[in-house]
């Protein structure tokens, strides 16, 4: 089964020592630095396995291109690359703006 079919929204409440702990949005969401680090790790792993570790721009292009191929092959999973890229831009702008608000 593909990973996107089994992922579930993370729980906002957890039981710790028989007490229910409710996490706020701030507790659950990663910071922009953490998001950037995750992306860096993905690109580094991809470059080492499939590309050129000394060409980060080329690796980014290769990852995006491969994601486009996946989106083209999996239309039933709603991986529409162009609309997803637009939504990613929207998320990025909102997350960058949140960083300025804090």
Say if CB 28 and CB 9 are below 8 A apart.
Answer: no
Confirm if 13 and 24 have CB atoms less than 8 A apart: no
Question: Around 14, how many Cα atoms within 13 Å sit in the side-chain half-sphere?
Answer: 8
Q: 31, 79, 70: which is closest to 39 by C-alpha?
A: 31
pLDDT, mean of residues 58-64 = 94
How large a percentage of the chain has pLDDT more than 70?
A: 67
pLDDT at 53: 87
Q: How would you classify residue 51: left for phi > 0, otherwise alpha for psi between -120 and 50, otherwise beta?
A: beta
Question: What H or E segment, with its residue span, contains residue 18?
Answer: none
Contact 59, 47 (CB under 8 A): yes
Mean pLDDT, residues 17-42 taken together: 76
Domain boundaries, the chain: 31-101
Question: pLDDT at position 97, please?
Answer: 86
Is the per-residue pLDDT at 88 higher than 90? yes
- The tens digit of pLDDT for each residue in 38-55 reads 999 999 999 999 988 899
This prediction has a pTM of 0.65
Q: Per residue in 64-76, pLDDT tens?
A: 999 999 888 887 7
């Amino acid at each position: 089964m593909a990973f996107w079919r089994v992922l579930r929204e993370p729980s906002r409440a957890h039981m710790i020592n028989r007490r229910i702990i409710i996490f706020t949005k701030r507790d659950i969401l990663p910071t922009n630095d953490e998001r950037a680090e995750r992306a860096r790790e993905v690109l580094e792993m991809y470059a080492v396995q499939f590309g050129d570790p000394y060409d980060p721009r080329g690796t980014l292009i290769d990852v995006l291109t491969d994601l486009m191929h996946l989106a083209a092959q999996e239309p039933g999973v709603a991986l529409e690359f162009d609309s997803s890229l637009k939504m990613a831009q929207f998320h990025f702008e909102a997350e960058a703006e949140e960083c300025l608000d804090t």
